[in-house]
Amino acid sequence: KAGVTQTPRYLIKTRGQQVTLSCSPISGHRSVSWYQQTPGQGLQFLFEYFSETQRNKGNFPGRFSGRQFSNSRSEMNVSTLELGDSALYLCASSSGLRGTQYFGPGTRLLVL
Amino acid sequence: AQKVTQAQTEISVVEKEDVTLDCVYETRDTTYYLFWYKQPPSGELVFLIRRNSFDEQNEISGRYSWNFQKSTSSFNFTITASQVVDSAVYFCALSEAQETSGSRLTFGEGTQLTVNP
């Protein structure tokens, strides 16, 4: 079975721009979660989607948003980028709520 | 609120040494799940183990073993006869079982393990 895939793997943006990251879960998995990893804050939960509905949201500003499609693929969007948004963004999928999460390789975002 | 603490920021050992990574957690839930993940330099988090709060049996998988003790809220991870390939950052994580938590993971700060030849 193919693992979680994320595109793009690397991204460079400038302040004020917006960015969209994509995640394809493991086949059959219906839950997708997103995490941000930075040296200062560590791994922080952004949000979780299950069956196209946001089930849980972390403590991030409204500039961070996401969605899930009927095929369980998910996207997250960050608008009006700030320097502090530079991070590794990790997507994880699980077969259901409270299932074990399996992570993708991440997207490294650099905001200049 | 839940919290996971990994007090060891960095550990350096010589190959073939045994090493234990500590993890202490806090939660008000009676049902919860504990995890260990490995993050090599490539960045991907690799799942190692999941433990349910009602199952305190220790587990061994090859050179890896886990010691779960509810009395001390700890879930420690031991690598026996460490190898250079074990070098990575290791994360302990907690997930609560309440409806509003979903699959949300709360991570510790991570422990950077370096195994020297």
**B10-64 pLDDT per residue, tens:** 999 999 999 999 999 999 988 999 999 999 998 999 999 999 998 888 888 899 9
Q: What is the pLDDT of residue B99?
A: 65
Cβ contacts of residue B14 below 8 Å, gap of 6+? B115, B116, B117
Please tell me which of the candidates B37, B42, B101 has its beta carbon nearest to residue A56. Answer: B101
Please tell me which of the candidates B43, B103, B107 has its beta carbon nearest to residue A31. Answer: B103
Q: What is the pLDDT of residue B55?
A: 86
Q: What is the pLDDT of residue B56?
A: 82
The residue of chain B with its CA nearest to that of A53 is: B102
Is the pLDDT score of A97 beyond 80?
A: no
Q: What is the dihedral of CA B74, B94, A8, A63, to 10 degrees?
A: -130
| Overall average pLDDT of the A95-104 stretch | 89
| Overall average pLDDT of the A41-70 stretch | 95
In the DSSP assignment, the letter for residue B16 is T
Q: What is the pLDDT of residue B97?
A: 79
Which residues of chain B have a CB within 8 Å of the CB of A101?
A: 47, 103, 105
**A60 has a chain B CB within 8 A of its CB:** no
User: Which of B98, B103, B107, B109 is the best substitution to test chain A (most A C-beta atoms within 10 A)?
Assistant: B103
Residue with tokens 């988090």: B45
Distance in angstroms (rounded) separating the CA atoms of residues A2 and A89: 20
Under the banding of pLDDT at 50, 70 and 90, the label for residue B103 is confident
Q: Is the CB of A106 less than 8 angstroms away from the CB of B107?
A: no
Cβ contacts of residue B70 below 8 Å, gap of 6+? B53, B56
| Overall average pLDDT of the A41-66 stretch | 94
Single out the residue of A86, A62, A90, A60 nearest to residue A74, CA to CA: A90
Higher pLDDT: B1 or A57? It is A57
Q: What is the pLDDT of residue B1?
A: 79
| Overall average pLDDT of the A4-20 stretch | 97
Distance in angstroms (rounded) separating the CA atoms of residues A43 and A96: 21
Distance in angstroms (rounded) separating the CA atoms of residues A48 and A50: 7
**A99 has a chain B CB within 8 A of its CB:** yes
